[in-house]
């Protein structure tokens, strides 16, 4: 199996005398240990630590990172894909003891690195200390540029280039990374294309992800996250059994909180076998066929542990005078009015919005719907304003209550939380088609208020999951981009703007890729991937400094 993973001239180079122990070692070395899919994440403290992660086609021998005179051995974290049976080799080097706000060059290699003479190298920058300005960027739903794969699209490469063009300190990748679950028999190949596409930016600056529904894969761990968790080393949440699913980190005066909304959403959108055929894993896996109608539904998997951690984390953050801002990253949406997308989910509104209110979360960054939408600042909920889609009966959707509906360009987020839908990375399915209530002309959102478990359709052995079961007038919706489903949000944190009188600010600019929609829903215009990102809108968030 190891030898099958990819042989090169390295085989000859690593041949050794046929003693028992060294023969075993030679066999282990028989793979191709050339680093690929190289990407960075923050360590426990972004001012002084960072993790270099990568994969190689075969098992790497003495995988390591070099920084100056230091050689840091990598931890090997292999796994076997539960459907294809393919072995995957990943490596993680924890780099500590760095200086704040400093730039470092590093190289990644192994004894059986085909590029050992001139190994992959790049530079990164650590986070600065204190109330200092910095920039980060964000989108979700990236996919890969390899259009052989379901939901992949060429915009994915331009999106990565867009991150580089803005030179952020780091990037937030809001879930649904590559849709490997929709290409179930070739999951590792899809992840490989994703990792190699991202490397153009993620090897230069941390890309901090959260899991989306498409990170849930059959045969890969209790929540299906093995592919995701094996590739990323993320800050420790100290919750036994749930490492990597959610975490927080600090940069400057901002506390970033990354959540796994799969744990609380009602919608059922993980791996799914629609049928009529079963999904049959490779015999080597020993895994049985997965029957039509099977979905991997993980709502509630943490048994409340994530929400308890969230409350502790928010309470500690708001109790810390050096924290001004709290920014949450999660994949699914509490406030989205996409008509062709998923819409909003009552699960997030029930579990987490009250905590966002209590601890004055400033900003929530999501994905899931492949578009751009911004809410007004919201606090509290309007009860009994939703309508069951099937019957017209009243249903409580806990509609987020806007504290203003004046789109003035400056919002005090100590008064309410702004939600941004940024599912505008690079998939081939743009969802920039938004709901309108035909009765009153107001914006309308679909809302999941219960699980849409698979149901048999009229075709034999074919199952489907229904769309959201309720609607509401989306009075919280401030801005929707109807011209394209693709873009990138750029955030400039200015902790002490001049003449601000004790306020701190974040300027948000959304750039969009006009013409990238395969088909624009508003005009019917057919488009194609484009490298051109132009400004769509800019606005400013302000709040009083906490000290
Ligand atoms: Fe999603």
Q: What is the DSSP string of 3-72?
A: GGG---THHHHT-----HHHHHHHHHTTS----EEEEEEE-SSTTT-EEEEEEESS--SS-EEEETTEEE
Is pLDDT above 60 for 3?
no
* CA 329 / ligand 1 centre spacing (Å): 13
Structure-token pair, residue 162: 């867009």
Q: What is the pLDDT of residue 347?
A: 98
Count other C-beta atoms under 10 Å from residue 355's C-beta.
Answer: 16
Q: Mind listing the pLDDT tens digit for each residue in 438-452?
A: 999 999 999 999 999
Count other C-beta atoms under 10 Å from residue 265's C-beta.
Answer: 28
Predicted TM-score (pTM) of this structure: 0.94
Per-residue pLDDT band at 547 (split at 50, 70, 90): confident
Cα first-last separation, the chain: 59
Is pLDDT above 70 for 7?
no
Q: What is the pLDDT of residue 499?
A: 77
Q: What is the pLDDT of residue 30?
A: 56
Is pLDDT above 50 for 166?
yes
* CA 368 / ligand 1 centre spacing (Å): 4
- Please state, rounded to an integer, the average pLDDT across all residues of the chain: 94
SS3 at position 413: coil
Is pLDDT above 50 for 10?
no
Give which of 449, 343, 473, 468 is closest to 397, Cα–Cα: 449
377's CB contacts (< 8 A; 6+ apart) are 402, 403, 404, 411, 412, 413, 415, 416, 417, 418
More confident residue, 1 or 433: 433
Provide mean pLDDT across the span 140-169: 98
Q: Mind listing the pLDDT tens digit for each residue in 518-531?
A: 999 999 999 999 99
Provide mean pLDDT across the span 304-331: 98
Per the CB < 8 A criterion, the answer to whether 74 and 64 are in contact is yes
Is pLDDT above 50 for 12?
no
Region of poorest pLDDT, from 7-21, 61-75, 164-178? 7-21
Structure-token pair, residue 29: 């070395």
Structure-token pair, residue 139: 């989108």
Cis peptide bond N-terminal to 276, omega within 30:
yes
Per-residue pLDDT band at 27 (split at 50, 70, 90): very low
Is pLDDT above 60 for 235?
yes
Provide mean pLDDT across the span 249-255: 98
Q: Which long-range contacts (CB under 8 A, 24 or more apart) does 3-9 make?
A: 3/27, 3/30, 3/31, 5/31, 5/32, 5/57, 5/58, 5/59, 5/87, 5/89, 6/31, 6/32, 6/57, 6/58, 7/31, 7/32, 8/32, 8/114
Provide mean pLDDT across the span 73-92: 98
Provide mean pLDDT across the span 137-161: 98
Provide mean pLDDT across the span 93-100: 98
* CA 111 / ligand 1 centre spacing (Å): 39
Provide mean pLDDT across the span 413-432: 98
Give which of 355, 397, 175, 144 is closest to 269, Cα–Cα: 175
Q: What is the pLDDT of residue 501?
A: 79
Q: What is the pLDDT of residue 497?
A: 81
* CA 214 / ligand 1 centre spacing (Å): 6
Q: What is the pLDDT of residue 154?
A: 98
Question: CA angle at residue 146 from 145 to 151, to 5 degrees?
Answer: 80
Q: C-alpha 283: how far from its chain's center?
A: 32
Cα-based distances in Å from 7 to 114, 333, 412 = 10, 45, 59
Is pLDDT above 80 for 11?
no
* CA 295 / ligand 1 centre spacing (Å): 15
| Alpha helices for 98-207 (secondary structure H) | 155-166, 187-202
* CA 168 / ligand 1 centre spacing (Å): 24
- The greatest distance separating any two alpha carbons of the chain, rounded to the nearest whole angstrom, comes to 82
SS3 at position 427: coil
* CA 339 / ligand 1 centre spacing (Å): 15
Give which of 414, 418, 386 is closest to 402, Cα–Cα: 418
Q: Mind listing the pLDDT tens digit for each residue in 41-50?
A: 999 999 999 9
Pairing relation of β-strands 372-375 and 477-480?
antiparallel
* CA 22 / ligand 1 centre spacing (Å): 48
Provide mean pLDDT across the span 519-545: 98
* CA 177 / ligand 1 centre spacing (Å): 9
Cα-based distances in Å from 398 to 262, 307, 347, 380, 426 = 19, 18, 10, 8, 31
Which helix (H) or strand (E) segment holds residue 542: the answer is strand 534-544
Q: What is the pLDDT of residue 393?
A: 97
SS3 at position 409: coil
Is pLDDT above 50 for 363?
yes
Per-residue pLDDT band at 230 (split at 50, 70, 90): very high
* CA 366 / ligand 1 centre spacing (Å): 9
* CA 173 / ligand 1 centre spacing (Å): 12
| Residue with tokens 């873009």, as numbered in its chain | 487
**Rounded Cα distance, 26 and 31, in Å:** 10
Per-residue pLDDT band at 14 (split at 50, 70, 90): very low
**Rounded Cα distance, 82 and 406, in Å:** 51
Per-residue pLDDT band at 281 (split at 50, 70, 90): very high
302's CB contacts (< 8 A; 6+ apart) are 239, 242, 245, 263
Over the Cα atoms of the chain, what is R_g?
Answer: 23
Ranges assigned E (strand) in 413-502: 418-422, 435-436, 443-448, 455-456, 463-464, 470-473, 477-480, 487-494
Is pLDDT above 50 for 274?
yes
Per-residue pLDDT band at 19 (split at 50, 70, 90): very low
Q: Mind listing the pLDDT tens digit for each residue in 335-349?
A: 999 999 999 999 999
* CA 174 / ligand 1 centre spacing (Å): 9
**Rounded Cα distance, 69 and 334, in Å:** 48
Q: Mind listing the pLDDT tens digit for each residue in 473-519?
A: 999 999 999 999 999 999 999 998 877 778 999 999 999 999 999 99
Q: Mind listing the pLDDT tens digit for each residue in 204-216?
A: 999 999 999 999 9
* CA 500 / ligand 1 centre spacing (Å): 38
Q: Mind listing the pLDDT tens digit for each residue in 367-409?
A: 999 999 999 999 999 999 999 999 999 999 999 999 999 999 9
Per the CB < 8 A criterion, the answer to whether 116 and 62 are in contact is no
């Amino acid at each position: 199996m190891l030898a099958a993973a990819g042989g090169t001239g390295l085989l000859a180079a690593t041949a050794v005398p046929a003693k028992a122990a060294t023969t075993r070692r030679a066999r282990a070395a028989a793979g191709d240990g050339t680093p690929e899919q190289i990407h960075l994440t923050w360590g426990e403290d972004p001012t002084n630590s960072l993790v270099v992660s990568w994969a190689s086609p075969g098992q790497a021998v003495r995988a390591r990172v070099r920084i100056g005179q230091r050689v840091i051995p990598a931890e090997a974290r292999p796994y076997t894909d539960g459907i294809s049976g393919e072995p995957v080799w990943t490596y993680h080097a924890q780099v500590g003891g760095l200086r704040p706000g400093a730039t470092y060059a590093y190289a990644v290699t192994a004894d059986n690195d085909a590029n050992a003479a001139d190994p992959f190298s790049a530079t990164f920058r650590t986070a600065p200390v204190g109330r200092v300005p910095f920039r980060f960027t964000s989108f979700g739903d990236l996919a890969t540029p390899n259009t052989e794969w379901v939901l992949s699209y060429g915009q994915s490469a331009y999106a990565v280039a867009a991150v580089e063009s803005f030179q952020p300190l780091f990037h937030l990748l809001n879930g649904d990374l590559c849709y490997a679950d929709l290409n179930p028999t070739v999951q590792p190949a899809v992840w490989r294309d994703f990792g190699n596409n991202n490397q153009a930016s993620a090897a230069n600056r941390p890309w901090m992800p959260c899991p989306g529904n498409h990170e849930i894969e059959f045969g890969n761990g209790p929540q299906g996250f093995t592919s995701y968790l094996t590739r990323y080393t993320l800050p420790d949440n100290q919750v036994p059994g749930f490492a990597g699913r959610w975490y927080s980190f600090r940069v400057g005066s901002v506390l970033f909180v990354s959540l796994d909304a799969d744990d609380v959403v009602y919608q059922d959108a993980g791996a799914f076998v629609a049928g009529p055929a079963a999904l049959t894993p490779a015999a080597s896996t020993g895994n049985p066929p997965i029957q039509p109608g099977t979905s991997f539904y993980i709502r509630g998997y943490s048994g409340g542990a994530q929400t308890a951690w969230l409350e502790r984390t928010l309470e500690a953050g708001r109790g810390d005078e050096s924290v001004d801002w709290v920014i949450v990253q999660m994949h699914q949406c509490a406030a989205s009015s996409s008509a062709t997308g998923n819409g909003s989910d009552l699960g997030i509104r029930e579990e987490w919005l009250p905590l966002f209110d209590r601890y004055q979360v400033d900003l929530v960054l999501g994905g899931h719907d492949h578009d751009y939408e911004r809410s007004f600042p919201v606090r509290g909920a309007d009860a009994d304003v939703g309508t069951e889609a099937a019957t017209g009966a009243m249903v409580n959707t806990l509609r987020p209550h806007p504290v203003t509906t004046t789109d003035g360009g400056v919002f005090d987020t100590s008064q309410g939380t702004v939600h941004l839908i940024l599912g505008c990375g690079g998939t081939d399915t743009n969802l920039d088609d938004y709901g309108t209530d035909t009765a009153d002309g107001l914006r309308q959102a679909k809302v999941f208020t219960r699980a849409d478990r698979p149901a048999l359709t009229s075709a034999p052995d074919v199952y489907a999951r229904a769309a959201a079961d309720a609607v509401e007038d989306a009075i919280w919706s401030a801005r929707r981009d109807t011209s394209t489903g693709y873009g990138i949000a750029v955030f400039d944190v200015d902790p002490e703007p001049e003449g601000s009188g004790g306020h701190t600010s974040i300027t948000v600019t959304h750039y969009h890729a006009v013409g990238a929609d395969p088909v624009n829903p508003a005009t019917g215009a057919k488009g194609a991937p484009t490298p051109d990102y132009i400004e769509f809108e800019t606005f400013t968030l302000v709040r009083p400094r906490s000290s």
